[in-house]
Chains A and B, each alone.
Chain A
Amino acid sequence: MAERTSPGPAAGGRAAWEPAVLDRRPRSVTAYPRLAWAWTRALAQYPVSLAMLTFAQACTTAVELLAVVIVFGHAGRLGGFTLDEAMLFYGLTGTAFSTAHLLIGTVDRLGEHIRRGSLDTVLIRPVSPLVQIATEEFSPRRLGRTVPSAAALGYALSVLDIAWTPERVLMVPLLIGCGALICGSLWVTAASVQFLLTDARELVSSVTNGGWALTEYPLAIYGRDVVRAVTYLVPLAFVSWQPALYILDRPDPLGMPDWLRYASPAVAAAAVAVAALVWRTGLRHYRSTGS
């Protein structure tokens, strides 16, 4: 065995125990892409399975898209929106949710990790357990949902009559990013319930996938109470509804204040803060119960 590289005990006294770390970037930031890439390679060992699952995910998305086309093609207008406008809602929601699903979706397996005891092996490593769980089985197959959604969004943005001011050009990617952050926060917040109820994965799924399905359509069709709830309680209105109203430059058909459409970044920041708080609280609970 070779000599130690770290220095001997320094004046401070603790140097012998402290590893020589030069890189000061947060470990979680640098570890995420490495872990994601490792899982991608691991799953690529089963290429047929990977291809079929990617195709299956794309099919799911295509069927949903078809449903939107049929509903709006048949009714002409719903809630005051045309088919092309509906594609905008669908595309915004799909892009935001599938991005969150790709990056952080496996966090809903938290309960399984707790039951199997594998959360313990995650906790002995110097990287955030959230990053380690979120990258588990990271797989490009989930792009099977992102690609059709992004295509629908691209189609809507190109055919709709949008006043492309410089402000709007800048705002569109920002709003999409905020939407993805809100979706990711929703995922983490819902998954944290499993710190208390380890077999609540279905419940988590009903919140996340339910939110996904709900926001694929213009919220006006659900009525005022639902829209209020998803604006002020669970901020799903900022995933597609408010961004689309902004892009189309339409007044809110339900008479909600117009400034809401500019609130996305603040709402996203708040959602991330809530998710972080809930996750940390859950982890503290786990450490004090060990079950």
Chain B
Amino acid sequence: MMINFTSSSAKRLERMRTVQCEALCRMAADSSVLLGLVEEFVSGQVDSKSTETAAGVKAGQFTVLQLVEALGLSLTSSQPQTRARGVQLLSQVLLECFSSLSENEVEVLIAFYENRLKDHYVITPHVLQGFKALTKCSVLPPGSAVSILRSIFQDVHVQSLMLAERSCVYNILINLMESREQELKGLGADFVFGFVQSVDGERDPRNLLLAFQVARNIVNKGYDLGKFVEELFEVTSCYFPIDFSPPPNDPLGITHEDLVLCLRAVLTGTPRFSEFLLPLIIEKLDSDVQSAKVDSLQTLAACRQTYSHKEFAEFLPGLWSSIRREVFETASERVESAGLSALGTITSCLSRSVLDSDSEDALQVFLNLVLKDCQHHLCEPDLKLVWPSAKLLQAANGASYRASLIVTSAVIPALLEQYNNRTECAERRTLLEVIQGFVLPTPLSRPAEGEESVFVPFQQSLASVVFSALSESSVGLQVTATRVLAALGQQAGLFTSPDVEKAVDHLTRLSLEEEDSQLSLAVEECSGSLAHLHPKAFISRMIPRLKEEIFSDPATVSERLSQYNGAVRQRCVMVLASVSSQASVVTESAPVLLQVVASAHEGSSGFSVEEVISVCISLEKIAQHTRDTEEIGQFFNDIIIPRLFGLVLKAVLLSDRSPLTDEAVLSAIVPVISTACAGLKTELASHMASQAVNLFLNGDVSFLPENDFPSQIQLLQSHAESRGPSKLVCLLMACVCSFPRNVDIPEIDRLLVQLEELSCTSPHVFAYTFAAKCFAGLVNKRAAGKALDAVLERVLKRISVELENVSSTQRTQAFTLLLWVAKALLLRYHPLSTVLTDKLFALLSDPELGSKVADGFCVLMSDSPDVLNRNCHADVRIMYRQRFFAENSSKLVHGFNSEEQEKKSCYLKALSHIVNNLPRQVQLTELPALLPLLLEALSCPDQEVQLSTLSCLQPVLLDPPAALNNQLEALFTRLLALTTSPAMKVKIASIRCVHALSHLPEHMVLPFRARVLKALALPLDDIKRLVRKEAVSARAEWFLLGSPGGR
């Protein structure tokens, strides 16, 4: 036993010894590895060894302490280069491993580095790197931030360091300010002084961005500036205004704008700089350099947040005279708008001052200055300075409520008096336009709760001026007056109800009597905005009057207004639509419009087809409100839609001559119904859906008013005679294809079968196209599944059979159905869509259908206005166009290349339709591949292809992709050849493209200048003025290219 025991314990001892030995050996090995690395780095100058060492430290192979020990010899070497190399290794390792250091280690290292700063100058850069690593440590011991900075400020002259080391110092500051704000603040003004000293003289833009960041932190975070306010200002403001243009190719990625914004944040960051900044701005505003002026003014405007009236006080006269001079004399809009916003800033800062009893109100004093210099110019409405003066006053006026009280009380009475004294319309118009600028309050000057509008004192006189202007004969004056009226009407408490009534009367009169299109538009807008607030006045005064006018006997009207009767009706109809945004108005106005449709059907009052169409457009405009107002939806559901259906049905079934059977009218009714149905809430929509389906499938007319229809009506049967009821399928489409997707369409399968039949067999374009669209609209929204698959399989089979039968008379019908179903499936990314579009591609070479198919790609790629768009809640996936293009462009190119010469144009046409509808971003990326084909298309003799390609090229040329560079020669040759095309439109489009090319970088297009100028001289003498006009503007740009003062 004993022996056994001893022997086993001896074995254990033995084993322990081996383990220890192995560990020792490994340590020895590790330390020799480390020594090797150090040796290679320091003496061998192998830079990559630092990463290996860092990796070793990270992996726990050796500690930082061991590294320092291993560095021992190099750090104590008598050669400064060797010592530097040693420190460099340590710093580089620390930069990678700073996060794993302990507080003790950091403390020791800091002490070491601080000491090294006093060593030879070649070591300093590496010490700074070390500090940078240590300042990123989260375990920085208390007090060390201060001590690091003290030693840097004391021992390093930052500006004699290299670029990277200076950047290192700024980074140390940024790191410490982030993590040790309280400690640094303890340094007091010394910190600011140290920073000022280290940054003084910096020139590199990268470092300046860092330095500005430090400075901004200093002023924003409340560091003690002590007596160094001026020094800190000096050391940053010496860069103002920034003059920097990035080197070519922009290797730094720093823009002029970056520097400007960064510096501006420093300079405007504290009110303590104001006594230095404001004189500096005044001085720089005298500069000849426009960008300096703009920068100065924008800097002034940026003081809005930090300054109060105290800062501005003593500089107000100087600032004002500089701003005034700039706005009065400049030719540049940028200077003007910067000046106006600077004035706004000053005014709003002054408005924040607290009034006290014994001193003057600073705002009042300043605005008196502004008023004194500007107001008298307002009395000279025909001279140039009236506008700059008005803009200055308006900028001050919009800065605060208090300011607007002061300005309006001085300016408005004077303007009103001027208006009444002047007699010329042009002058009155200018005055009224100036008034218009004062009338709308800005967000800053809007009256607060409990304050009343600043215009209340002038309410009477303003209203009377506006009304008198409305009765003038000058259109310009009337337009301005309408705008002022709309602006006044929107502010509470400015209009009494007699005023509103008077305004409504004026608007009614203007819509009945005035011809000018600009004025009509202004009247519509104004009526729309006022009717939203005062519906009653419009219901009682305007609508009856308009109704009377619409239905007045053309014979009596023609005596009064000769040929303008149609135009008057047209305007009345438009105004009716624009005032109808409230349910109470709609219930009055929409029936009037419906009555027009009814009497057009009956043939009374002599309404033309065009008039009925414009009524439909108005109804559509009103129908858009069903979306937001439920009562309006209810009204359309109960009254308007059934009445429209009833009227059209009656027209189609009973009378042959009714204008309602006209296809143009039917197409105009479609959007009315579709817009209304799209806005219905789910319950109403389901109800409407079942009514419509019942009507079309079963001939159930019970929901229609004036129910006197024949008992057996079949609306979805194909009829040989052209006025058959089959064209009503467009109304079915408008209705059932527009509901939200969660609305179930009853008996949808039967409906689809009948629609398919109609679209394949009807001989009439209108009927079979709408049947196909309706079919497609339903298929697009139908949930995926067996039912849908069955429908698609059936219809595809039928289409194939029809198309393959070359002698069939119904191939066009089959193609139309194919096109629309393809679109329906393409939009929702249905897997079958490729099958269908491939069929379309194959048809491009069909001798009979080819050209139609090419145009069909336009249908496929563009938004269709009446069906399959997002407004009718269709299932439209984003970027379906890109997807389609990506999948199919190669097929087109291939088809084009393998086709015979005569048939190529179909491919080009299809291609240009597709590219034309792609989003610009995609066009740009795809252009390189397509450019040769598009150039080919330009030389294709088909004018339609030329036009379509030009219209697709022109927007691309405004911002051309790099791929264009190699093709410029070919492009210019073809474009310039087209400028003498026999077709006017081609000439115009090609000249526009040539015009666009002048905006390309000068070095690319300058070689073509002489050639272009010579070629464009020909269209200058074209027989068509429109062509000459394009040629003149394109040639003017090309003359400026490469010429001094040009571009």
Chains A and B come from one and the same complex: no
Give chain B's interface residues, CB within 8 Å of chain A.
none
